[in-house]
Amino acid sequence: MVFGETMPSRRRQKQMKKDAKIMESCKAMQKEQKNAVGEERSVKEIRGEGGLLLNSKEQQGRGHLADRMLAVSDWVEPLKEYFEGNKVVFISGGREDYDVRMLGNGRPFICRIENPCRNLPRKVGLLCNVISESGASVEEYTVEYKPIDIKYNMSKDVEILDTLLVDGAVAMKDLKKIEEEHSKVYSVKVLCSVPKKILINRLLSTYWKEETDNTHSDMNRAFSLMEPDLKLNQRTPIRVLHRRANLVRNKTIHSCRIVIEKTQKDQNTMLQIEIKSSSGTYIKEFVNGDMGRTSPSLSEVVGEYCAVLELDVLSTEDTFPNKKYVLAPVNLV
């Protein structure tokens, strides 16, 4: 008897065809909207591949051939060389898109060296002599790991902080917990195809209120959420639908502060937004709505498409690593 995969039911086949058609139409609509926003946008600097800042002419000339900026994961080669291991596995506490900068205190990560041929430098000291039940004297020792020096091959644009030797088994559990539970603070520059007056009226009629302090001029008016913890229903974004299940995820915007920076041609409004959200929130989709797949969204509130021009992570709320499983410091030379 030959065993193989069972064919999906007819109902399932119809649903799969329907999902495929929806995905194709959504991609086409998204492409049209991006082209429309690109024509309206008159920004001197836009972000190229790998986080490089390129002006519009360089972006058009170089396109996808732009050199990629070094990422933190590129630091694994000096580790592999030092420990003479077969492989170094880079494990990050979460991830961002290639065009998003990680600022502030950075993001925790672990590098696991597989099959190392070089032992860690350590010093062993006699703790005490213990008399066993049989009357024999047993010596107990303390082991302390010495600091090690690792080459630092990163550019000035990438900085690695607080490198330490840790107990991997315990640290991995802590890292996974951080990835699932931590919240992050983002800074987003947004272009809305709506005049300033209409934008303000729509913000005030929904989830936002104007701040009462006088620190901002008439142009830089600031708005914050009326109530904290705005609940979102986010269906898997179209841009990642090819590799993730088409599910609805419940996320939370803990705070969202909008500052109106300037207007362009009385039709477009530039916003600077600071967002604090729960883990796994798709910030780009919270802004542009993703064809209605994220609700509520800024585009839904405004009534027009809002484009994300820049997106930075300002901070993550976590304390990693814990001193309990730190073995020794690592010096970058």
The answer to whether residues 20 and 136 belong to one domain is yes
Q: Which domain holds residue 309?
A: 183-316
Which of residues 259 and 218 earns the better pLDDT score?
259
CA-atom Rg of the chain in angstroms: 26
The answer to whether residues 128 and 161 belong to one domain is yes
The answer to whether residues 188 and 176 belong to one domain is no
The answer to whether residues 20 and 167 belong to one domain is yes
* Euclidean distance between CA atoms 166 and 185, whole angstroms: 27
**Residue 51, in any domain of the structure:** no
Sequence-separated (6 or more) residues with CB below 8 Å from residue 219: 260, 261, 262
The CATH code of the domain that includes 223 is 3.30.70.3190
**Residue 30, in any domain of the structure:** no
**Residue 31, in any domain of the structure:** no
| Per-residue pLDDT at 217 | 57
Q: For tokens 């088409």, what's the residue?
A: 246
**Residue 286, in any domain of the structure:** yes
Q: How many CB atoms lie within 10 A of CB 256?
A: 21
The answer to whether residues 12 and 149 belong to one domain is yes
Cα-Cα-Cα-Cα torsion 65, 313, 287, 260, nearest 10 degrees, comes to -110
One-letter identity of residue 240: V
The answer to whether residues 13 and 130 belong to one domain is yes
**Residue 35, in any domain of the structure:** no
User: Reduced to 3 DSSP states, what percent helix, strand and coil does the chain have, rounded to the nearest 5?
Assistant: 30, 35, 35
Which segments of 65-137 does DSSP mark as H helices, in order? 76-83
**Residue 296, in any domain of the structure:** yes
The answer to whether residues 17 and 141 belong to one domain is yes
| Per-residue pLDDT at 26 | 61
The answer to whether residues 192 and 169 belong to one domain is no
Assess contact for 262 and 235: CB atoms under 8 A: no
What confidence tens digit (pLDDT) does each residue in 113-146 have? 888 888 888 776 666 666 667 777 767 777 788 8
What confidence tens digit (pLDDT) does each residue in 199-211 have? 999 999 999 999 8
What confidence tens digit (pLDDT) does each residue in 72-110 have? 777 888 888 888 888 888 888 877 887 888 888 888 888
Q: What's the whole-model pTM score? A: 0.70
Domain total of the chain? 2
The answer to whether residues 203 and 164 belong to one domain is no
The CATH code of the domain that includes 115 is 3.30.70
Burial class (CB in 10 A: 0-12, 13-18, 19+), 64: exposed
The CA-CA-CA angle for residues 99, 104, 105, to 5°, reads: 115
At 270, phi and psi to the nearest 5? -95, 130
What is the average per-residue pLDDT within 30-46?
46
* Euclidean distance between CA atoms 208 and 273, whole angstroms: 12
Least reliable range by pLDDT among 11-20, 60-69, 182-191, 307-316: 60-69
For 21, the enclosing helix (H) or strand (E) is helix 10-40
The answer to whether residues 121 and 82 belong to one domain is yes
The answer to whether residues 273 and 210 belong to one domain is yes
**Residue 123, in any domain of the structure:** yes
* Euclidean distance between CA atoms 330 and 333, whole angstroms: 10
Q: How many CB atoms lie within 10 A of CB 311?
A: 21
The answer to whether residues 205 and 268 belong to one domain is yes
Q: Is the pLDDT of residue 43 over 50?
A: no
Q: How many CB atoms lie within 10 A of CB 160?
A: 14
| Residue 80 DSSP label | H
Sequence-separated (6 or more) residues with CB below 8 Å from residue 301: 202, 203, 206, 207
**Residue 60, in any domain of the structure:** no
